[in-house]
Amino acid sequence: MTEDTPAPDADAPLTPLVPDDPDAAALEAVAGDGDPGPLPDAPRGTSELARVYAALLARAGETMVEPRLDATRRACELLGDIHTAAPVITITGTNGKTSTARMVDALLTAHGLRVGRFTSPHLHRVTERISVDSAEVAEPVFVRIHDEIAPVLAVVDAELDAVGRARLTFFEALTVLAFAVFADAPVDVMVLEVGMGGEWDSTNVADAQVCGFSPVGFDHMAHLGPDLTAIATTKAGILDRTVDPSPAPDPVAVVAVQEPEAERALAAQIAARGVRAVWEDRDFAVVAREKAVDGQLLTARGAVGSYPDLFLPLHGAHQVHNAALALAICEQFLSDGEKPLDAETVAQGFSQVDSPGRAEILRSEPTILVDGAHNPAGARVLADTIAEAFDFREVVGVLAMFGDKDPHGVLEHVHRFADRVVVTEAVSPRAMPVDELAAAAAEWWDPDDVLRAEDLNAALMQAIDLALADGEPGIGIVVTGSLATVAEARTLLGRKDA
């Protein structure tokens, strides 16, 4: 492992994920990775949040997508056009959206703006998805705003019922709630991460001044299409104007490096709309980077400025490129791309960035790293990051996935860094059965190197025993496969902050 690996609670026991823990419910409601499930009884002190969360979970889950904007727009308009209450930055893509959104938030905050950020999924608490001033919305505020907008949600539900259409979904209602929180604060800017796709994602009811595109890859093909052209075309829908008159009639697209097919599709959509665009490696770029204690140093070239020696407290080349994308987005938003940002302020912003559940170290001796990679592109990035940033002499992988994901696409890259793997089941009705995942793993590892565990707690204990068996340091444990898996691991290891 690296010399800067932290040692949080190295000897602390695992914390069981008990049935009455509301965090168990959070594992059931991971956007794109999990379907909202039944809400367990909540401990004292969280009954109001549990009540509101139960009401949200009673709606159609996040994998039950309604490709529409009119329902969310109707609710926002009835609430006083809350989707236009502040300028908007929207970020779509396949991987890196959340990290990029958090970086944009940090940079704008460093520049003195009050930022409202809406991201998904959450790791432990639904309140994590909505933040103001870079902090998770307080439970009383979340509850109060939900109760204030609930009558309007009921009106829209009734209108949809009357014409035989599905009621507002979990994600649609949560999007409306986020807009309402931001309007109530109020905030100076809203940073919105698209939940799925772009064209018909509920966040797209807001017209973004700047539209960011992280790398587009394969995921959610049942909803987005079978190839990168279809997926990228749907994501380019965030460039559409849905408000009349639009508060941002001339958006700018800021585009990260893409696969050639995705780049061609995005370029075609941008040209068709006559939108101005800035592209990574043409208009902005990562100039240099090097490993540093607890992260890395980068020099970035923006569209209008140069920013040397920025400290980013995250590992992996992908995070440096996310940072370049975030910086270019902020240049366009704060100065219309006409003048550079203050380099010291940019450095201050990046120094405050974190990204829980993404190449995150939770414990040392042995080092336990968690990462929410759940598709081939995410697993490839994880493998690259481990190879570059860590000096493990051996790695034990711990893996739990969902049944609608591509196990071999993920295992191909997990196999690059894991010498052995312990497979188990995620806490979700959509979990891939352990026997199915073990059979897939047996095609990549020798049979003796594929172990099974009945749950993640048992898998972690088994992995720790393997890592400590010979008494020599340097064996790492990497937990991955979904963000639900990461969330459960964080809970078991006593980390519920996100």
Give phi and psi for 347, each to the nearest 5.
-60, -40
pLDDT in tens, 304-362: 999 999 999 999 999 999 999 999 999 999 998 889 999 999 999 999 999 888 899 99
CATH code linked to domain 357-492: 3.90.190.20
Domain with CATH 3.40.1190.10 in the chain: 47-351
Compute the distance between CA of residue 269 and CA of residue 266 in angstroms, rounded to an integer. Answer: 5
Compute the distance between CA of residue 227 and CA of residue 105 in angstroms, rounded to an integer. Answer: 31
Site of tokens 């120094």 = 351
Domain with CATH 3.90.190.20 in the chain: 357-492
Rg of the Cα atoms in the chain: 22
Q: What integer pLDDT is reported at residue 365 of this predicted model? A: 85
- The number of helices, as runs of H, and strands, as runs of E, in the chain is 16, 17
Q: Give the confidence band of 498 by pLDDT, cuts at 50, 70, 90.
A: low
pLDDT in tens, 471-485: 888 999 999 999 899
Residue 36, burial from CB neighbour count under 10 angstroms (0-12, 13-18, 19+):
buried
Per-residue burial over 481-496, b = 16 or more CB atoms within 10 Å of its CB, e = otherwise:
bbbbbbbbbbbbbebe
Mean pLDDT on 164-181: 98
Compute the distance between CA of residue 83 and CA of residue 177 in angstroms, rounded to an integer. Answer: 10
Q: What integer pLDDT is reported at residue 299 of this predicted model? A: 97
Fold (CATH) for 47-351: UDP-N-acetylmuramoyl-L-alanine:D-glutamate ligase (3.40.1190)
Is 291 in contact with 390 (CB distance < 8 Å)?
no
* Type of residue at 429: P
Q: What integer pLDDT is reported at residue 243 of this predicted model? A: 96
**Tokens describing residue 92:** 């779509």
> Coil, strand or helix: which one is 274?
coil
> Coil, strand or helix: which one is 51?
helix
Instruction: Please say if the pLDDT value at position 4 is more than 80.
Output: no
Compute the distance between CA of residue 154 and CA of residue 58 in angstroms, rounded to an integer. Answer: 13
333 to each of 90, 108, 123, 130, how far by Cα in Å?
11, 9, 29, 21
Percent of the chain with pLDDT over 90: 77
**Tokens describing residue 337:** 């791309």
Neighbours of 39 (CB within 10 A): 20
Compute the distance between CA of residue 244 and CA of residue 84 in angstroms, rounded to an integer. Answer: 11
Q: What integer pLDDT is reported at residue 64 of this predicted model? A: 81
* Type of residue at 431: A
Q: What integer pLDDT is reported at residue 40 of this predicted model? A: 36
